[in-house]
Amino acid sequence: MDATILAYIAGFLDGDGSIFFQLVRRKDYCHGFQIRTSLAFYQKTENEEILLWLKQQFSSGYIRRRKTGITDYTIVEPGEVRRILELLQPYVRLKKEHVRLGLEILERLPLAEDATELVSLCLLVDRFQVINYSKKRTNTSEVVIDYLKSHGYLAPVETDPEKERVVGLAGG
């Protein structure tokens, strides 16, 4: 993709886009939680043509019209989110930390089958609450740790939020 187009899309992401990661309770997952990735662009429905153009550029994701008059273009598949973030990384300005953190999580995501690594990733996901000014999150690393301990996946745990890692943890 042309650098000018990538720079334009990165500017769109900086202004009318969002990068976020969520901890989602999933009964069908071995450790009870999924790390959901999302990359989204927003626009008034009357201007949705630009979102259709974006979808054409990336060939992934879906477009949803909301009753509020806003339309969003969202990509959730982790491999696609990673591919797009890597393309846009050199050009973003306001969301540099979002992209850096997102790529770190996505790189380590395949390791999340290990309970200890899952907790470490959950600590990174918690950082999105701060950089996205989120106030409504209910599933945090603490919730995941409590769940994992209560189901025998972890021995007592101690986290070091400053280093975003788990210390003193026995997982399986």
Looking at the DSSP bridge assignments, the partners of residue 115 are none
- SS3 (DSSP) at 36: strand
- The verdict on whether 14 is a catalytic residue reads no
Contact 171, 148 (CB under 8 A): yes
Distance CA 152, CA 117 (A): 16
Contact 148, 154 (CB under 8 A): yes
Which of 11, 14, 16, 114 does the annotation list as catalytic? Answer: 16
- SS3 (DSSP) at 149: helix
- The verdict on whether 15 is a catalytic residue reads yes
Which of 15, 79, 168, 172 does the annotation list as catalytic? Answer: 15
What secondary structure letter does DSSP report for 151?
T
Distance CA 21, CA 106 (A): 10
Burial of residue 153, with CB atoms counted within 10 A of its CB: 0-12 exposed, 13-18 middle, 19 or more buried: buried
Q: How far apart are the first and last CA of the chain?
A: 42
For the record, the structure tokens of 118 come out as: 């899952």
State the catalytic residues.
15-16
